[in-house]
Amino acid sequence: MKPRVVSGMRPTGKLHLGHLVGALHNWADLQEQYDCFYFVADWHALTSDYADPSGIAESVVDSLADWIAAGIDPERSTLFIQSLVPQHAELHLLLSMVVPIPWLERVPTYKEQQDQLRDKDLSTYGFLGYPLLQTADIIVYNAHYVPVGEDQVPHLELSREVVRRFHNFYGEVFNEPQPLLTAIPRLPGIDNRKMSKSYGNTINLSDDAETVRQKVRQMYTDPKRVRADIPGTVEGNPVFMYHDAFNPNVDEVNDLKARYRQGKVGDVEVKTKLATALNAMLEPIRDRRAVVLARPEWLREMIVESSRRAEREAEATMERVREAMKLRYFERG
């Protein structure tokens, strides 16, 4: 039996290059060695978007299409939608009886997000419970590993603490999940700020070739280089960070860097070569994405079927949880 991996992503719109290097490439690779469960965390999207959930449905479909296009294989991994597996909610409720509120209040993302998303009222019960729902997502499958970014490590710590507290009261039921951290290249947006949909500085997996060329042309680069014969800085320059992340032709990249440092190459050449490399990488993703979106019935059936498979796993755990918590007074039959 392969060790189990569980990870989720909120459906917050079109996926971009940050998702690809930050999660999807890793998710795809993990399919070799692990029994992977990947899900769209649509209830988690509601923790911040509860006042206007109208965009979520489209984002769910976009996410699934992008995942499959990026190499997440529904034949090998269990892809599902959180809200199709109500056991996540049941376990979240039961865990909410056990978790002390200060444990949730001291999770760093709680205050950070409240500060950052000032236009939204995040003083809700559901938002406070975000990492507890995440805990339920993970332990309901008895995951061994959770591939996440650095920012999510405190969430996993909370998960392990909650599991231990649960075990103290009711006996052993769950695995203690461990984070699976991979070196993730930090990529800025095309304007050199943090890459984010809300800044409009992303290159999306669904962008067509011309859009990619246009965005690369606008990309922030060394501002000191007002002319091509001025020596430029490669380190921390977004154009070269993207070359490093996406251009497989290392000789070409090294040659561009050397000439850039000497003031012997124009930005146009550096950027044209980047756009070409990006489009070469994105082309097969675009094709697969189009195939998925052209078959909405296939997608629907696949996701319903594999959400059922997830539900069977989750239900088996919940049987043990109800048993441990002495909740089986009468069986429904």
Question: β-pairing, 78-81 with 4-9?
Answer: unpaired
Enumerate residues 270-299 that contact ligand TRP by CB under 6 A. Answer: none
Does residue 10 bind ligand TRP (CB under 6 A)? yes
Rounded to whole angstroms, the Cα distance separating 43 from 260 reads 47
Rounded to whole angstroms, the Cα distance separating 291 from 135 reads 34
Q: What share of residues in the chain are helix, strand, coil (percent, to 5)?
A: 60, 10, 35
Does residue 257 bind ligand TRP (CB under 6 A)? no
CB of 159 to ligand TRP, least distance (A): 9
Question: What is the rounded radius of gyration, in angstroms, for the C-alpha atoms of the chain?
Answer: 22
Does residue 146 bind ligand TRP (CB under 6 A)? yes
End-to-end CA distance of the chain: 31
CB of 289 to ligand TRP, least distance (A): 21
In the list 8, 11, 18, 232, the residue contacting ligand TRP (rule: CB under 6 A) is 8
CB of 37 to ligand TRP, least distance (A): 9
Give yes or no for a contact between 6 and 34, defined as CB atoms under 8 angstroms apart: no
User: Which helix H or strand E contains 254, and what residues bound it?
Assistant: helix 250-262
Beta-bridged to residue 178, according to DSSP, are 145
Does residue 140 bind ligand TRP (CB under 6 A)? no
Enumerate residues 160-199 that contact ligand TRP by CB under 6 A. Answer: none
Does residue 56 bind ligand TRP (CB under 6 A)? no
Residue 21 CA, distance from chain mean position: 10
Does residue 6 bind ligand TRP (CB under 6 A)? yes
Does residue 232 bind ligand TRP (CB under 6 A)? no
CB of 134 to ligand TRP, least distance (A): 4
Amino acid (1-letter code) at residue 306: S
Enumerate residues 60-79 that contact ligand TRP by CB under 6 A. Answer: none
Q: How many chain residues are in contact with ligand TRP, going by CB under 6 A?
A: 13
| Neighbouring residues of 252: CB distance < 8 A, sequence distance ≥ 6 | 273
Enumerate residues 99-138 that contact ligand TRP by CB under 6 A. Answer: 134, 137-138
Kindly list the residues in this chain that would bind ligand TRP in the complex (CB under 6 A): 6-10, 41, 44, 134, 137-138, 146, 148, 152
